[in-house]
A and B are shown apart, each in its own frame.
Chain A
Amino acid sequence: GAVVSQHPSRVICKSGTSVKIECRSLDFQATTMFWYRQFPKQSLMLMATSNEGSKATYEQGVEKDKFLINHASLTLSTLTVTSAHPEDSSFYICSARVPPGEGYTFGSGTRLTVV
């Protein structure tokens, strides 16, 4: 089936630094990818929709200058958390819609800890 590969799975960074998370569709082209954030014991909250070749669409309350999204090719989307702070510590997961009628597939997630 369609697979989305997400890296890194875990990252620890110092406050004030930036972190990049990659999400690749391995055996299909993903015109659109989605980035979610999940706090402990909570459900997934959509942060932004990443569109290949155009600007991302951010959900209300998500700072676009802090969470930079780039979708430069049909198989790669990246999320960069800029000037990270401890409150940005969370679990970030990407997703892509698989071929029509097959729903969505998710990456394995990235646990970000800002110290």
Chain B
Amino acid sequence: KQEVTQIPAALSVPEGENLVLNCSFTDSAIYNLQWFRQDPGKGLTSLLLIQSSQREQTSGRLNASLDKSSGRSTLYIAASQPGDSATYLCAASEGGNEKLTFGTGTRLTIIP
């Protein structure tokens, strides 16, 4: 059974700093891995999707990497802004049944 873990559970950094969020998964046979952000009381917004054959994806100030062999993915946020404050979730997809297994989330606070 796939298990996804995110460390740290919470993170506070001053505005302008670069930061890295970590995601670990136990079963390397994933179809893809997706990063989401969730604002309080809201749904999920997709940030980046990495297919199993890819090593990284970039969108603006965000860069996500994937290392299947070690069961890890990272989300790098450059030049953080207060608007980046949210909970970030990673989710691993199993190819056969399309199920997503979510990580425990990292609650990020950017201090102005």
Contact = CB atoms under 8 A, between A and B. Distances in A.
Categorize the interface residue count of chain B: 20 to 34
Binding site of A, secondary structure by majority: helix, strand, loop or mixed?
Answer: strand
Given A34-B100, A43-B103, A44-B102, A108 B42 contact: yes
Contact of A102 (B41, B44, B49): B49
Interface residues of A, number: 23
Interface of A: 6, 32, 34, 42-46, 49, 91, 93, 95, 97, 101-109, 111
Contact of B100 (A101, A104, A111): A104
Given A32-B98, A43-B102, A103 B42 contact: no
Contacts of A32: 98
A103 B46 contact: yes
A49 B98 contact: yes
